[in-house]
A and B are shown apart, each in its own frame.
Chain A
Amino acid sequence: MAAAAISLAACATQDGANLGGGLYDPVENVNRATFEFNNGVDEAIGEPIAMAYREALPRGVRDGIRNFADNLNSPVVFINDLLQGEFGRAQVTLARFVVNSTAGIAGVADVATRAGLPGRRSDFGETLAAWGVGPGPYLVVPFLGPSTTRHFVGRVADVAVNPIGYLLATTDYAWVGLVERTVEIIDQRERLIEAVDGLKKTSLDFYASARSSYWQARLAEIHNGRILPGAPGDDDIDIDDDEEPGPQPVAAAPKPEGTEARRAAISQ
């Protein structure tokens, strides 16, 4: 799978819009057409279902559904933690899966986070990035939306390796996996109702805005939120780049203590 990703990435011609972080959009015309198609599907089906989902279910129930889906995905996160050499995180992922599957009633309640074991996502696309595989060309996948070649290969691999999918397939509960995936997509869309609608209505170029938003968010996932978007190392451009020389670094603040120290740590 990694070889396939590398091969696909190598096929990327380095033309089209440079999006920073090694990403290009060499098939922009095709991507724009697919984006229009996806947008039409979303307006006709995706957004109305997401709105109905929000109206029909209170936030607590929606949180429970998301927790359940996240818990079913835990084995994939665990495998990718290991593949990335993140053994500490793998331990946390395993502990979360055990705690939430039992005390959390099949994962519906995220008791692990309350017990000091916060969850995080990890996928094979991130693993490939950790192994040094480039993102490849930017792709808009029919029905799935913005992606990179590397991310798309990672998505396929994650579905293929999830042991829970295989376990369910051997029982009469194979439909659970399909329902879980469908509800997860609806839940993800529900969380983006305001953001997508705002971007769509106000952008000079919705395609370019969606592409940039996707890539920034994806880079943040790959960097595990350790780099502030728009900062050096995250992208090719920083908000300070267009400055003439002048402003000096802000004088060092007194060493923070207590709450302020914790706050400063959170923001880094």
Chain B
Amino acid sequence: MTRVNADANASRPRSGGVRRTALAAVMLIAGALSPGAAGAADAPVNPVQKGEAIIRSLSQTVFTVLRDNGDRRTQEATFRTLFAMYFDVPRIARFVLGRAAWSKASADERAQYLELFLHYVVKVYTIKLRRYRDGNFEVIAAGPDRTGVVVTTRMVGLRSGRPFHMKWRMRPSGGTLKVRDMVFENVSMSLNQRREFASAYRRYGGTMAGLLRAMRMKMAELDGQ
């Protein structure tokens, strides 16, 4: 919880007072319903119930942020905090890179990659999620999934676009459950990114330096949109 508050301060937007108040409210919700707290309030709960509660709170927080009408930079800052809190970012980052590229990278390149990956993914999902700001994730199923839990949600309330299903694959991490993969209508986002990064790695010279350059270029391109 301490870390959440510290991150919240770090990501405080520079925009107006109303927006700061809204962000503070969001962070209050996020703090109260953080992965660690989800199991503490009504303990004991089984992992499936805990996973379901975490995804409900994550959904509530994300759509509160999206409806706050903040600009993209402000939302990105908030999502960076949420992503680090609810997602097992280091594990996702390593999976996406693949074992071979990870083992060939230097310690400095690994550190750069891990930091860049968080910023890159947050930028990507902020852009994607802003299209669905009038929607909401409704939990329709939850169950065990190998060493973790899978929670199935349905996007509801969209004024345009089709409702879709999203499965959240969660794994134990740091005494709680964290999201390791999102499966959008039968397409695993982690697996997609792994294929995408493998291709970019190859096309940018087959080195970590090339991949990091490609990620920075893409982030600059997204910032310009």
In the assembled complex, the Cα of A247 lies from the Cα of B46 at a distance in Å of 17
Residues on A with C-beta less than 8 A from B91 are: 242-243
A19 to B199, CA, bound (A): 11
A-B contacts, CB under 8 A, total:
152
Whether B24 sits at the interface, judged by CB under 8 Å, is no
**A241 to chain B: closest CB distance in Å?**
8
Is A211 an interface residue when CB atoms closer than 8 A count as contact?
yes
| CB of B35, distance to nearest CB on chain A (Å) | 14
**215-264 of chain A: CB within 8 A of chain B:** 216-217, 220, 225, 228-231, 235, 237, 239-243, 247-254, 256, 260, 263-264
Given the interface pairs A201-B225, A205-B200, A208-B196, the reply to whether A228 lies near B127 with Cβ below 8 Å is no
Whether, in the assembled complex, A202 has its beta carbon less than 8 Å from a beta carbon of chain B, the answer is yes
State whether A267 touches B194 (Cβ < 8 A): no
The answer to whether A193 and B161 have CB atoms under 8 Å apart is: yes
* A229: chain B residues within 8 A (beta carbon): 183, 186-188, 191
| Number of A residues, CB within 8 Å of B | 51
**Distance in Å from the Cβ of A227 to the closest Cβ of chain B?**
10
Q: Is B150 touching A209 in the complex (CB atoms < 8 A)?
A: no
Report the Cα distance A261→B146, complex, angstroms.
Answer: 17
Q: Is the CB of B128 within 8 A of A198?
A: yes
The 8 closest A-B pairs by CB, nearest first: A208-B199, A220-B186, A264-B143, A230-B188, A253-B46, A212-B195, A263-B141, A267-B141
8 A-B contacts, Cβ less than 8 Å apart? Answer: A17-B199, A202-B128, A212-B187, A216-B187, A230-B191, A250-B147, A263-B152, A264-B48
Q: Which residues of B contact A (CB under 8 A)?
A: 46-49, 91, 94-95, 98-99, 123-124, 127-128, 131-132, 140-152, 160-162, 167, 169, 171-172, 180-181, 183-188, 190-192, 194-200, 203, 214-215, 218, 222, 225
